[in-house]
Amino acid sequence: MNRLLLHTAEELHGLPRAGRRAVVMTMGALHEGHATLIRTAREQAGPGGQVVVTVFVNPLQFGANEDLDRYPRTLDADLRIAGGAGADAVFAPAVDEVYPGGDPQVRISAGPMGERLEGATRPGHFDGMLTVVAKLLHLTRPDLALFGQKDAQQLALIRRMVTDLNFPVEVVGVPTVREEDGLALSSRNRYLSPVERHTALALSRALFAGQDRLAAQAALRARAEASPASDERATALARLGEIRASADAHAVSAAGGGLPDAVRAAALHVLEEAGRHEPPLVLDYLALVDPQDFTEAGPGFTGKAVLAVAAKVGATRLIDNIPLEFGAHS
């Protein structure tokens, strides 16, 4: 695999091109989540295509108090993982290769979406991310670019940039890969001690609690719609011994809030419980948003949504999310 390790734009541009080219952009410290992205890229590029993995720790994405120096650099291991997953080449440039004039004077602006959630917590992060993604798209010239859905806001912004600025590339989102205990795979998981990891599991548990609340409400509504939700109907059903249908009808009759709030509440309950653990989970945000612009989903929201969470456990900040879909009666 080392013979296909590329460090310069000149080497990259000299790489013979075969079929469709798919690119997977990473900051290194590759794990099974990245391997899944690379395998998916291999499938989508096809047997005659080409998969290029980029490994670059982008300084523009790190704030003054963030972990740029601490971020793991494991290039030898990255090469083994990338090669084993089907990559044809790994482009691992130095900082001055990507930014030959120093910090770029002209950058991509993430706009209002880039100021929400992760952007509010990490000002300038998404401007730096989009700037390097734009540069790497120009350098690698792919037909396809694959990104993980774990970084849902990043994926949404990349899609928007590609559309708004007419990049000739197809952006493919790949579902989040989780460890057996549910924790989303992340390069930062290695920083967690065993007790911190136990607390961190609350992130995925909270998301699944929100998902379960949505599924339970959908089932409740389906049953209640089969038995009209009125107090008279509920009482009649109870007399007939149809206790479950009666309870469903009463619940729908009494419901006054929107389902998005119920989903948030179910997730928040798990996170608040984890805040009392030792060590505690320190919540940054829990949000249920429209994936088109990452604005909060209101009471009557319908369609696709993202339930997203960010929190610190010890010194490690973690993010996670799951996609949801709200029906017309949610």
CA-CA distance, 39 to 146, in Å (whole number)?
Answer: 10
- Per DSSP, the residues of 251-301 read HHHH--S-HHHHHHHHHHHHHHHHTTSSSPEEEEEEEEE-TTT-PBP-TT-
Q: What pLDDT score was predicted for residue 219? A: 82
User: 253-290 as b/e, with b when 16 or more CB fall inside 10 Å?
Assistant: eeeeebbbebbbebbbebbeebeeeebebebbebbbbb
* Residues recognised as catalytic: 34
Report, as ranges of residue numbers, the positions in the chain whose pLDDT lies below 70: 1-3, 64-66, 224-225, 227-257, 328-330
pLDDT at residue 250, as a whole number: 43
Whole-angstrom CA distances from 153 to 134, 172, 264, 286 are 16, 14, 18, 13
The sign of the dihedral angle between the CA atoms of 6, 130, 207, 317 is: positive
**pLDDT value at residue 246:** 44
Residue 255 in tokens:
């419901």
Structure-token match 């729908």, residue found: 252
| The pLDDT value given to residue 232 | 64
What tens digit of pLDDT does each residue of 114-141 get?
A: 999 999 999 999 999 999 999 999 999 9
Beta bridge partners of 317: 312
The residue assigned the tokens 């890969």 is 177
Return the pLDDT at 229.
Answer: 54
3-state secondary structure of 26: strand
Q: pLDDT for 208-226, tens place per residue?
A: 999 999 999 888 777 766 7
Residue 73: its pLDDT value, please?
A: 86
